Amino acid sequence: MLKILGRATSTNVQKVLWFCDAQGIEYDHDNDIGGAFGRNNSAEYLAMNPNGRVPVVIDDGFVMWESCSIIRYLARKSKSDLYPSDFAERQTVERWMDWELSLLAPRHVPVFVGMVRTKPEDRNPDAIANGVTQWNVAMQVLEDQLSETAYVAGASFTLADIPIAPIVHRWYNLDIDRIDAPNIKRWYDSFAGDAGFQKWVNIELA
Ligand SMILES: N[C@@H](CCC(=O)N[C@@H](CS)C(=O)NCC(=O)O)C(=O)O
């Protein structure tokens, strides 16, 4: 059975767990790795992922890291209709997945880590305020896209929506200034009742 290693408080682990639930892929999940659990810098773990990051996913002995490429692998293997075969449609999906990892996620980290994982006395208010501004610039790009298409990569829910949603969940659940974003709200509400989203993504920030 597929093995998923990593704490479910990580957005990168959440995207794998949610995708597997959405596709009915069975897995064994070891939650107690990373963050306060540690174990991700053990020799055994580093042999699987030299970056010491979560998630690691093991499919019948094949070890993978990098969350978005993991869900693309799982989507291809399960012939998921969330991952279109048309070259242009697939590029659009992959572009937004890359955008999440390379732009959206780094923009939210100073805010999320500053407000949730840093003791109040150690917080840097200027860095957090600047982070909110930068994060909202990225959210405006998402809002503009969702004013044109129902979902991130077009008319239907695809693999592109899954990595972005956990960061939007954090955006809604932090006490920060947010841009006016009616289309993000419409999009977010459209999958908020999904069982996998509820279980893995719609959780208290930690
Ligand atoms: N690009 C990597 C990033 C992985 C990553 O940075 N994971 C974070 C959690 S979101 C991590 O392992 N942090 C260290 C820890 O949890 O101890 C991916 O998408 O898998």
Cα(27)–Cα(134) distance, integer angstroms? 36
Q: Please, which pLDDT band fits residue 25 given cuts at 50, 70 and 90? A: very high
55: preceding bond cis by omega (within 30 degrees): yes
Expressed in angstroms and rounded, the spacing between residue 51 Cα and the centre of ligand 1 is: 9
Q: Please, which pLDDT band fits residue 47 given cuts at 50, 70 and 90? A: very high
Cα(5)–Cα(70) distance, integer angstroms? 12
**Within-domain flag for 204:** no
Expressed in angstroms and rounded, the spacing between residue 199 Cα and the centre of ligand 1 is: 20
* The two structure tokens encoding residue 63: 């070890």
Decide: 167 and 11 in contact? Cβ < 8 Å: yes
Q: Are residues 94 and 189 in the same domain?
A: yes
Decide: 103 and 167 in contact? Cβ < 8 Å: no
Atom of ligand 1 nearest to the CA of 7: 16
Expressed in angstroms and rounded, the spacing between residue 12 Cα and the centre of ligand 1 is: 6
Cα(194)–Cα(185) distance, integer angstroms? 15
At residue 174, the pLDDT reads 98
**Enclosing domain of residue 38:** 2-77
Cα(45)–Cα(52) distance, integer angstroms? 7
Work out the number of other CB atoms within 10 angstroms of the CB of residue 199: 14
Q: Are residues 113 and 194 in the same domain?
A: yes
Q: Are residues 63 and 131 in the same domain?
A: no
Atom of ligand 1 nearest to the CA of 13: 10
At residue 181, the pLDDT reads 98
Query: What mean pLDDT comes out for the span 75-99?
Result: 98
108-133 pLDDT, tens digit per residue, is 999 999 999 999 999 999 999 999 99
Q: Are residues 63 and 119 in the same domain?
A: no
Q: Please, which pLDDT band fits residue 100 given cuts at 50, 70 and 90? A: very high
Q: Find the CATH number of the domain harbouring 59.
A: 3.40.30.10
**Within-domain flag for 60:** yes
Q: Find the CATH number of the domain harbouring 117.
A: 1.20.1050.10
Q: Are residues 41 and 125 in the same domain?
A: no
Write down the pTM of the prediction.
0.97
- Choice from 31, 54, 71 to test ligand 1 binding pocket (greatest atom count within 8 A of CB): 54
Expressed in angstroms and rounded, the spacing between residue 166 Cα and the centre of ligand 1 is: 14
- Please give all residues whose beta carbon lies within 6 A of any atom in ligand 1, as ranges: 10-12, 34-35, 40, 53-54, 65-68, 101
Total domain count for the chain?
A: 2
